[in-house]
C-alpha cells in the first residue's frame, strides 16, 4: 500500500491468502456499501472465473485482483471500462518490464501471441442511480505456465522474463495507469481511449475470421467503434460484431 500513487484506487485494500474468487467476494462486499476504488487481492483462487462461466486458473504467484468502481459515467461509457483496463494492463507490462504487450479483441492481454492476463467486468447491484462495476484482473506472474492443468495457449511473466516480479509494484502501477484511464473517460475522452486501445490491438488491418452463429465471416480487422464493437471490412462493406456473440481467429 505504501507503493500506491493513486487517489482512490486501492486506498481500501483487502488481502487474502486464498479465496474462491476475488470478484465474488467483492460483489458480496458491495452490499456492505464499500466505496469506489476498493480492491481485493488473493494469493490464490480456488474457483477463479473467466467470462461466460469459464474457469480461470489462479495458482499462487499470480496477481488476482478485483476492483470496485462507481464511475461518474453513463451506462454506455461505463461499459468501456473493460477496454480501459486492457489498455492499462498492456501499458503496465510495457512500463515495468519493457514488454511488447498486445490486446486481442475484446480484452485478452497477450505477449508473444499468448494470453498473459485476463479481464472480467461484472455489474454489481443496480445500474440505476449509482452504477457499481467490479473489474476482475488476473495476471500470470510468478509461476510457470507449465503448471496449468490443461494445455493453454497461455504464458506467464516468469516464463517470459526469467525472473520473479514484485507483485506489489505490479499492482500499484496497474492501479495508477487504470486510474488515469478512468479519469480520462470521466472527462469524456472516448476518442483517446479508442486510439490507445487500437495502438495495442493485435491484428489491425490484417485478415481475420469471425464465427457468429455458425457462419464464418472472413475480412480485414479494421478496429473498434466507440462502443467497443469490432469492425470487419468484407471487401468494402463494413460489418460490426459485439464481443459476446463471436469468436475471432487470425485468418
Label the pairing between strands 230-234 and 114-124: unpaired
Using alpha carbons only, give the angle 195, 200, 205 rounded to the nearest 5 degrees.
80
Distance CA(30)–CA(48), nearest Å, equals: 19
Minimum Å distance from CB 16 to ligand BTX? 12
Distance CA(14)–CA(41), nearest Å, equals: 6
Distance CA(216)–CA(234), nearest Å, equals: 12
Question: In the range 13-72, which residues lie near ligand BTX by CB under 6 A?
Answer: 21-23, 45, 48-52, 54-58, 64-66
Minimum Å distance from CB 122 to ligand BTX? 9
By CB under 6 A, tell whether 140 contacts ligand BTX: yes
Minimum Å distance from CB 7 to ligand BTX? 23
Question: In the range 90-109, which residues lie near ligand BTX by CB under 6 A?
Answer: 108
Q: Report helix angle 167-186 to 81-97, nearest 10.
A: 140
Count of Cβ atoms closer than 10 Å to residue 115 Cβ? 17
Close Cβ partners of 215 (under 8 Å, ≥ 6 residues apart): none
Instruction: Residue count of the chain, please give it.
Output: 251
- The residue (of 54 and 169) whose beta carbon lies closer to ligand BTX is 54
Q: Given candidates 154, 157, 175, 208, which one binds ligand BTX under the rule CB under 6 A?
A: 154
Minimum Å distance from CB 56 to ligand BTX? 4
Here's the x/- map for ligand BTX, 112-131, by CB under 6 A: it reads as ---x--xxx-----------
- The residue (of 108 and 181) whose beta carbon lies closer to ligand BTX is 108
Binding residues vs ligand BTX (CB under 6 A) = 21-23, 45, 48-52, 54-58, 64-66, 108, 115, 118-120, 136-138, 140, 152, 154
Amino acid at each position: 500500500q505504501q507503493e500506491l500513487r493513486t487517489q482512490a484506487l486501492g486506498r481500501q485494500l483487502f488481502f487474502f491468502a486464498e479465496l474462491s474468487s476475488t470478484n465474488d467476494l467483492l460483489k458480496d462486499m458491495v452490499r456492505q456499501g464499500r466505496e469506489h476504488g476498493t480492491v481485493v487481492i488473493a494469493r490464490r483462487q480456488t474457483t477463479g472465473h473467466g467470462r461466460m462461466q469459464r474457469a480461470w486458473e489462479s495458482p499462487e504467484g499470480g496477481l488476482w485482483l478485483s476492483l470496485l468502481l462507481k464511475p461518474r459515467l453513463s451506462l454506455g461509457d461505463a461499459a468501456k471500462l473493460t477496454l480501459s483496463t486492457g489498455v492499462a494492463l498492456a501499458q503496465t507490462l510495457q512500463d515495468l518490464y519493457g514488454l511488447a504487450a498486445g490486446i486481442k479483441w475484446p480484452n485478452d492481454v497477450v505477449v508473444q501471441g499468448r494470453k498473459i492476463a485476463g479481464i472480467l467486468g461484472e455489474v454489481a447491484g443496480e445500474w440505476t442511480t449509482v452504477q457499481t462495476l467490479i473489474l476482475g484482473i488476473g495476471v500470470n506472474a510468478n509461476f510457470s505456465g507449465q503448471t496449468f492443468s490443461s494445455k493453454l495457449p497461455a504464458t506467464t511473466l516468469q516464463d517470459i522474463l526469467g525472473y520473479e516480479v514484485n507483485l506489489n509494484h505490479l499492482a500499484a502501477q496497474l492501479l495508477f495507469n487504470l486510474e488515469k484511464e478512468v479519469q480520462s473517460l470521466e472527462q469524456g475522452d472516448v476518442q483517446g481511449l479508442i486510439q490507445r486501445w487500437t495502438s495495442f490491438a493485435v491484428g489491425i488491418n490484417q485478415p481475420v475470421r469471425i464465427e457468429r452463429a455458425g457462419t464464418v465471416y472472413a475480412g480485414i480487422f479494421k478496429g473498434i467503434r466507440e462502443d467497443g464493437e469490432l469492425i470487419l471490412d468484407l471487401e468494402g462493406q463494413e460489418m460490426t460484431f459485439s464481443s459476446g456473440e463471436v469468436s475471432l481467429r487470425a485468418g
